Amino acid sequence: MRIDTPAGSILTDPWVNPAYFASWFPFPDNSELDWETLGKVDYLYVSHLHRDHFDHEHLKRFVDKKATVLLPAFPTSEMEDELREVGFTKFIKTVSNEVVELDGGLKIMIQALTSPTDGPIGDSSLWVEYDGIRLLNQNDARPADLSEFAKLGHVHAHMLQFSGAIWYPMVYELPEAAKTAFGKQKRERQFDRTWRYIDDLKASWVFPIAGPPCFLDDELWQFNDIFGDEGNIFPDQSVFLREYRALGRNNAVVLLPGSVATLTADDCTVTHPVPDLEEFFANKEQYLREYQARKRTIIDAAKASWSHPEIDVLAELKRRVEPLLEESIYLAKGVGGPVRLDLLADDNQTVTQSILIDFPAKQVRPAADEKVRYRFRTRQSLVENLLASGEVDWVNSLFLSCRFSAARIGQYNEYIYSFFKCLSEERLQYAEGWYDEHEKAVENESITLRDRTTGIDWEVQRRCPHLKADLSRFGIADDGTLTCQLHGWRFDLATGRCLTSVGRTLRARRADEPVADTASTSA
């Protein structure tokens, strides 16, 4: 998104080149825009380090290095370090939720989210105001609420994610019927979360952005939402419009690469590079096939670069991972057992070796016949590439590529993915410190939620045990289960047990039950 005002221009999250081992491509294709002109801006804002937002090659080649970077207040220096490496030298280091007045009456505010599960150690949203017109580019970020932005006045344009940006449930080794059911549930939760954010902010105009990607490699083609699959988690902008209009809403604005929206206090006018939006989306499959043909050489070149046979995978994993296991307390405890990594030949069929990352024993070793709760299976060449490049974030590379399969016994375990995005001492120490503070925090404030099925009132802690979302806004009680709509986590109200992952408990009790007298009980 490029934001132009009389006081200056801001380029946000310019992503053009494929991400995650050439798996994700921007949809629609934006590579043929006039980036020489679009890159001449006053300010650059990158919301976070995910490679479908931080396009190193494109930033280096096309964005004017005289631009001033609007830097979110992230807990590590990685984003600034990477931008300096690209060639940027001018930075405004913002403070989360504090307004910055730039030249000419242009104001900005960046809200930084800093949980280890927010992007790769951080995600953010950008608020912009000029001459009383306000815009919020929420992008991928999932703040607990939008009140900090609403305090600054009515927002005229709200840009936010609506489509999937994850590998679940497609990569799991499940029956197709189960994948469809889980995918449908995920898709519905995505839209529910989007509606909640829209209702919270009440902006004049809503722009569905930040998704979906498209998949042009034949190996991943089935992930495109072109097969009428109700379990596909990557609905496009036309699906958003259909679902949104079904709610009786008519203030959505869809943009394609090259579209221009002109925003005033009272109106939003749009010009598009195509004559008919509906026809464009109706011909999506043909469009993707033509797009695929244009990018095939890029995909082939990427695949040819993955293999590094000089890497001894087991030895290099031991060297890199065992010191981190030794330092890990909360993440190792949260994983709670060994994780098996099966490496495949490039035919994706033959297992070349199986490696066990044993979190309790703090070891990396060859796998035998041990039973494990968590297993990943991927090409050996991809892991060789990760090790050869020194990649510290396997989530922001291997997992988001969807070029793997996974199996687990029991619940989702967020600690596994937190660990695999923290394969450096700096990241690991930050994550350990965050979990330490998080685990020690006492949640005293309570709210009451009525079960929509049973009519029972439940007194529960106000903040979700997962990432502190306000359950008075995002919590839904239904048939004895509480669901936090921000991330879809579920809890059994009778026991407080988390039904989504391990390591989280909800404080909950029936509101009509007397509170135990702890003094009398102890006496």
The 3 state secondary structure assigned to 228-264 is CCCCCCCCCHHHHHHHHHHCCCCCECCCCCCCEEEEC
Calculate mean pLDDT across residues 145-169: 96
Return the pLDDT at 520: 34
Q: Which amino acid is at 203?
A: A
Q: Could you tell me which of 131, 138, 144 has the C-alpha nearest to residue 158?
A: 138
Return the pLDDT at 519: 39
What's the 3-state SS for 440-505? HCCCCCEEEEECCCCCCEEEEECECCCCCCEHHHHEEEECCEEEECCCCEEEECCCCEECCECCCE
> Angle at Cα 174 formed by Cα 170 and Cα 178, nearest 5°?
85
Q: Could you tell me which of 110, 119, 120, 194 has the C-alpha nearest to residue 158?
A: 194
Find out whether 117 and 419 touch, Cβ atoms under 8 Å: no
CB atoms within 10 A of CB 490: 16
Find out whether 477 and 454 touch, Cβ atoms under 8 Å: no
Which residue in this structure is represented by tokens 């954010």? Answer: 197
**Mean pLDDT, the chain, as a whole number?**
93
pLDDT tens track for 428-467: 988 888 888 776 665 678 899 999 999 999 999 987 887 6
Question: What structural domains does the chain harbor?
Answer: 2-298 (3.60.15), 313-438 (3.30.1050.10), 442-522 (2.102.10.10)
pLDDT tens track for 79-105: 999 999 999 999 999 999 999 999 999
Query: Cis peptide leading into 75, omega within 30 of 0?
Result: no
Return the pLDDT at 518: 40
CA–CA gap between residue 340 and residue 376 (Å, rounded) = 6
CB atoms within 10 A of CB 511: 14
The residues pairing with 208 across neighbouring beta strands, listed in sequence order, are 160
Q: Which amino acid is at 28?
A: P
pLDDT tens track for 176-213: 999 999 999 999 999 999 999 999 999 999 999 988 99
Find out whether 10 and 92 touch, Cβ atoms under 8 Å: no
Calculate mean pLDDT across residues 384-409: 96
Return the pLDDT at 292: 98
Helix 237-246 with 176-201: angle, nearest 10 deg: 70
Calculate mean pLDDT across residues 26-52: 97
At 341, list the tokens: 């990594």
Q: Worst-scoring range by mean pLDDT, 16-30, 151-165, 482-496?
A: 482-496
Distance of CA 50 to the CA centre of its chain: 8
Q: What are phi and psi of 7, to 5 degrees?
A: -100, 0
CA-based radius of gyration for the chain = 24
pLDDT tens track for 474-499: 788 999 999 987 667 889 999 998 88
- Considering 152-161, 344-353, 490-499, the range whose residues carry the highest mean pLDDT is 152-161
Find out whether 11 and 39 touch, Cβ atoms under 8 Å: yes
Please check the confidence at residue 257 and state whether its pLDDT lies above 50: yes
Return the pLDDT at 523: 27
Return the pLDDT at 346: 81
The residues pairing with 128 across neighbouring beta strands, listed in sequence order, are 108, 135
pLDDT tens track for 270-286: 999 999 999 999 999 99
pTM: 0.86
Phi-psi group of 455: left, alpha or beta (phi > 0 → left; psi -120 to 50 → alpha; rest → beta) = left
How many CA atoms does the CB half-sphere of 345 hold within 13 Å? 5
Return the pLDDT at 29: 97
Return the pLDDT at 407: 96
Return the pLDDT at 211: 80
Return the pLDDT at 144: 85
CB atoms within 10 A of CB 222: 12
Strands 404-408 and 374-379: antiparallel
More confident residue, 44 or 502: 44
Q: What is the pLDDT confidence band of residue 515, given thresholds at 50, 70 and 90?
A: low
Return the pLDDT at 521: 33
**pLDDT above 70 covers what percent of the chain?**
96
Return the pLDDT at 442: 54
Q: What is the pLDDT confidence band of residue 369, given thresholds at 50, 70 and 90?
A: confident
